[in-house]
Amino acid sequence: MTLTRAADYAVRVMIHLAGLPPGTRASRTDLAGAADCPNQFLSKVLQNLTRAGLVVSHRGNTGGFELPSTRRATSMLEIVEAMEGPLALNLCLTCSAGCPRQAGCAAHSVWVEAQYAMADVLRRTSITDLARKAAAGRAAPSLVVPAEDPVWN
């Protein structure tokens, strides 16, 4: 499963908002810059975050987007699910009828374990913790494995 760019941008927006003092509003333009996201695309991201109750939208001269104090402990899992829907690494994990071979599939338990592990990591990671790391200048460790140079015969 690959998350969409929208989920990545949403996490960036939420981290930025969590790094602001409580009650602070950020404009869409400020958030677009902080998330390195095109302004028009960010509108859809903010719409989803607002609909999920993760951010509050204010209109008018003093408008902008705000992270409610009750959402400062929001987990990455909540953000991902607000953008992508329920987490599912494989079709067989979406429902009991997701795959007709589910009961006898040797790989099913591995998919279940992998999804649980990923959800657990995302659930334990709050945007406030990530905002603190960002403020301290410590980026989260990258788990991207660099591609090896091709071997030419």
Cα angle, residue 135 at apex, residues 132 and 140 outer, rounded to 5°: 65
The CATH fold assigned to 5-135 is Arc Repressor Mutant, subunit A (1.10.10)
Q: Label residue 153 by pLDDT band (50, 70, 90).
A: very low
Grouping H, G, I as helix, E, B as strand and the rest as coil, residue 126 is strand
Give the residue extent of every domain in the chain.
5-135
Q: Label residue 150 by pLDDT band (50, 70, 90).
A: low
More confident: 83 or 60: 83
Tokens of 129: 């913790």
pTM equals 0.80
**What is the radius of gyration, based on Cα positions, of the chain?**
18
* pLDDT tens profile 31-52: 999 999 988 889 999 999 999 9
pLDDT value at residue 63: 87
